[in-house]
Amino acid sequence: MAVFLQQLVNGISLGSVYALFALGFTLVFGVLEIINLAHSAVLAVGALLAYTLFTRLGVGLIPALLGSFIGTGLLGIAIDYVAFRPLRIRQAARLASLISSIGVALILVNLGQILWGSEPLSYPPGTVPLRFFTAGGVTVSLLQIVTLATTVALLIGLRLLLTRTKVGMAIRAVAENPTTASLLGMPFDRVVMFTFFLSSALGGVAGVLIGMLLQGSVSPFMGNAYGLKGLAAIILGGMGDITGAVLGGFIIGIGEIMIVQYLNSSYRDGVAFGLLFLVLIIRPTGLLGQRRGREA
């Protein structure tokens, strides 16, 4: 039982990072119905930005997280401007956006390689002090607590932003129906810009947290492993559904840890994606998604 509880704790901290990453995916999908495959490259850029802030400027954890948040957020706006806006203006097929986002991902990973090199880099030790707390046979590291706290704070912040503020309501209105929202005076372009900022900023922070959970090993290629997991999370939960993405992230994080513990570590990805395939076949709208009239 103690093992199970311990692994549950580990799964929750991993799942919280997946949730954060999946949120960025789902925000853009919810508002524009496009899948931004450059999101996983943004995750890597966020992690690498934090590395530079740690090592060059010697800042602490909070300024580094903040720097990544703002840096990747601005990058998100730039991505939209270069790769998605021209297609949106032309009202191109959604497939086109998917492909142009692949191009952006290539560019970002290559730029990352040029700026930071291809070797994995390590965060300086002691960024988060190595400290453990034990209660009832379950050990929690300070790092896990910091990760979970950051994620929960961001989730609550996002929730409040979307439900309580004017810009949040505008985002939801545009997600519901872009044409009607524009007719009612919502500044469509600014809403999209803000959505991309938020989405990429969350991805960047997820990158820093993943970098720390992986013993500080970050590289331009680190996003590749998470792109598909993020997709899996938003499909499990229901595309474009905020709560669904969080739920999906936690299910995948906890599921992975449990499969490694009780089954075979090399089947971990296979089980996750087998499950994903089944969900798509049995309930294509995901766990929380509602059946929509339109086609994705």
Partner 1 sequence: MSLLLAFYNAYSTLILFSGVAALLALSIYVTLMAGQLSLGNAALATIGGYTAAILTRDHHAPLWVALLSGALLATTVAIIIGIPSLRLRGVYLAIATLAFGEVVRVAALNLRITGGALGLVGIPRLATFWHVYGTLAAVAFFFYRLERSRVGRALAAIREDETAAQAMGVRVTYYKVLAFAIAGFISGLAGGLSVHFTYIINPSQASFGEAVNILTFAVFGGTTTFLGPIVGGIALTVLPEALRFLREYRLLLNGAILVLVTIYLPQGILAPHLWRWRRARV
| Residue-level length of the chain | 296
Q: How far apart are CA 238 and CA 279, in angstroms?
A: 10
Q: How far apart are CA 74 and CA 92, in angstroms?
A: 24
Q: How far apart are CA 240 and CA 227, in angstroms?
A: 16
The yes or no reply on residue 153 touching partner 1 (CB under 8 A) is: no
Nearer to partner 1, 1 or 281 (CB): 281
In whole angstroms, the minimum distance from the beta carbon of 53 to partner 1 comes to 24
The yes or no reply on residue 239 touching partner 1 (CB under 8 A) is: yes
Q: Which one of 64-72, 106-114, 129-137, 174-182 is the stretch in contact with partner 1 (CB under 8 A)?
A: 106-114
Q: What are the percentages of helix, strand and coil residues in the chain, rounded to 5?
A: 75, 5, 20
The yes or no reply on residue 231 touching partner 1 (CB under 8 A) is: yes
Would you call 221 exposed, middle or buried from its count of C-beta atoms within 10 A (0-12, 13-18, 19+)?
A: middle
Cα-to-chain-centroid distance, residue 140? 23
CB atoms within 10 A of CB 240: 23
The yes or no reply on residue 224 touching partner 1 (CB under 8 A) is: yes
Show Cβ contacts of residue 4 under 8 Å, excluding neighbours closer than 6 positions.
Answer: none
Nearer to partner 1, 227 or 255 (CB): 227
The yes or no reply on residue 77 touching partner 1 (CB under 8 A) is: no
* Among the listed residues 8, 74, 102, 258, the single contact to partner 1 using CB under 8 A: 102
Spatial CA neighbour of 196 closest among 24, 61, 48: 24
In whole angstroms, the minimum distance from the beta carbon of 166 to partner 1 comes to 30
* Among the listed residues 3, 57, 82, 160, the single contact to partner 1 using CB under 8 A: 82
* Among the listed residues 100, 150, 151, 195, the single contact to partner 1 using CB under 8 A: 100
Task: Please give the residue ranges that form the binding site for partner 1 (CB under 8 A).
Answer: 35, 37, 82-83, 86-87, 90, 92-96, 98-100, 102-111, 113-114, 224, 227-228, 231-232, 235, 239, 264, 266-267, 269-270, 273-274, 276-277, 280-281, 284, 295-296
